[in-house]
Amino acid sequence: MRAFTVERYGDKAGVRAGEVPDPEVGADDVLVRIHAASVNPLDRMIRDGELKAILPYRLPVVLGNDLAGIVVEVGAAVTRFAVGDEVFARPDKDRIGTFAELIAVHQDDVAIKPATLTMEEAASLPLVALTSWQALVERANIQPGQRVLVHAGSGGLGTIAIQLAKHLGAHVATTTSTANVDLVKRLGADVVVDYKKQAFETVLHDYDVVLDSLGGETLLKSLDVLKPGGQVISVSGPPDAAFGRELGANPVIRLVMSALSSRIRRRARRRNVTYSFLFMKASGDQLRELTPLIEAGRIRPVVDTVFSFESAPEALEYLETGRAKAGKVVLKMT
């Protein structure tokens, strides 16, 4: 089958198109012919080797972390799916590879594609929708009336997190550029901070939760907008020891993670708030919980640009250079 693989870390030219063996289908796997896959910052980080300490893939590895397609084969123990089903999924972190014609995915990580969506729209959702759910529902347990700040509201994660937070009954603030103020308002943001005109930490106060996808100084300043007992959940900040335990990492790696996050955790403690790092997990069950919200229009995908499969390197560069205006970048198989 055709696929885009990372041949060596840290080199844009290290992403190559070529033929690789078809996936092996285990007893609990469904084999999916991929119709569309979305491009995420995670793909760039994997390509550049930034995560090799915690995601030690054996090279070459096929890139790609979410998909929509059609089931073409099922394993002997599969009970939820049949050949011909239209599905979407975020494969487990150890079984990535959606920049390809085919992928074998454990049935627990797959869900039936929402009937209201195209393949391209469905492919844009799994990673960011699951991240939003795991941050706002599982970890933060958002309740009606709570105040939530979602950074980068026009980004792939932000567009979905705003909508989910509003569905949960939260008062939602977000940061974005001037060009996307109207978009994030349509998605449900109650307060919009144009970062080109205002510093969010000077206008937002007493928030219960911050969902951070930017890291760096934005993450540090996010502590200042929380009320006592509040929490910042970051997908871009330094990993913490709890994440190391989730990974089953050895004690040395857990110690390193704890050291990396020590500054932000100390600063959080001084303000009587908490910091945690989130690396989302694959879950077909959670995708099934999200599907009624998607089909009812409570959560609408936002797709910036669709590239052909053959243009995967250009799609990565488009995302990396910040040319995407809003939402997700998607690859379409031809």
- pLDDT tens by residue, 174-222: 999 999 999 999 999 999 999 999 999 999 999 999 999 999 999 999 9
Q: What is the mean pLDDT of residues 31-46?
A: 96
Name the token pair of 258. 């704890």
Q: What is the mean pLDDT of residues 14-28?
A: 94
Residues of the chain with pLDDT > 70, as a percent, come to 100
Indicate whether 11 pLDDT > 80. no
What pLDDT shows up at residue 322? 83
Q: What is the mean pLDDT of residues 141-163?
A: 98
289: enclosing H helix or E strand: helix 284-295
The answer to whether the CB of 90 falls within 8 A of the CB of 127 is yes
Indicate whether 35 pLDDT > 80. yes
Name the token pair of 141. 């347990």
Residue 29: strand pairing partners: 106
Name the token pair of 135. 């941050």
Map out the domains of the chain with their CATH numbers. Answer: 2-124+301-332 (3.90.180.10), 127-277 (3.40.50.720)
Q: State the pTM of this model.
A: 0.96
Indicate whether 324 pLDDT > 90. no
- pLDDT tens by residue, 92-119: 999 999 999 999 999 999 999 999 999 9
- pLDDT tens by residue, 248-291: 777 777 787 778 788 999 999 999 999 999 999 999 999 999 99
Positive or negative: CA dihedral 283, 285, 290, 294: positive
Q: What is the mean pLDDT of residues 28-32?
A: 98
Measured in whole angstroms, the distance separating CA 251 from the mean position of its chain's CA atoms is 27
Confidence category of residue 37, pLDDT binned at 50, 70, 90:
very high
What pLDDT shows up at residue 274? 97
What pLDDT shows up at residue 129? 98
The chain-wide mean pLDDT, for the chain, equals 95
Residue 332, CB-side half-sphere exposure with 13 Å CA sphere: 10
175 backbone φψ class: left, alpha, beta (φ>0; ψ -120 to 50): beta
Long-range contact pairs involving 137-145 (C-beta distance under 8 Å, separation at least 24): 137/164, 137/168, 139/231, 139/233, 139/276, 139/278, 140/208, 140/209, 140/231, 140/233, 142/168, 142/169, 142/170, 142/208, 142/209, 143/168, 143/169, 143/170, 144/168, 144/169, 144/170, 145/169, 145/170, 145/171
Confidence category of residue 329, pLDDT binned at 50, 70, 90:
very high
Indicate whether 311 pLDDT > 90. yes
Q: What is the mean pLDDT of residues 17-34?
A: 97
- pLDDT tens by residue, 44-67: 999 999 888 778 899 999 999 999
Residues of the chain with pLDDT > 90, as a percent, come to 86
What pLDDT shows up at residue 183? 97
For 10-57, the DSSP string reads T-GGGEEEEE-PPPP--TTEEEEEEEEEEE-HHHHHHHTTTTTTTS-P
What pLDDT shows up at residue 233? 98
What pLDDT shows up at residue 95? 96
What pLDDT shows up at residue 318? 94
The answer to whether the CB of 238 falls within 8 A of the CB of 258 is no
The answer to whether the CB of 174 falls within 8 A of the CB of 204 is no
Q: Which residue has the higher pLDDT, 240 or 22?
A: 22
Angle between helices 284-295 and 126-133 (to 10 degrees): 100
The span from the CA of 235 to the CA of 55, in Å, is 15
For 235-259, the DSSP string reads SSS---HHHHHHHT--HHHHHHHHH
What is the DSSP-derived secondary structure letter of residue 77? Answer: T
Indicate whether 18 pLDDT > 90. yes
Sheet holding 171-176, edge to edge: 191-194, 171-176, 147-150, 207-212, 226-234, 274-277
Question: 234 by DSSP, 3-state: which?
Answer: strand
Q: Which residue has the higher pLDDT, 2 or 259?
A: 2
Q: What is the mean pLDDT of residues 321-326?
A: 85
What is the DSSP-derived secondary structure letter of residue 100? Answer: B
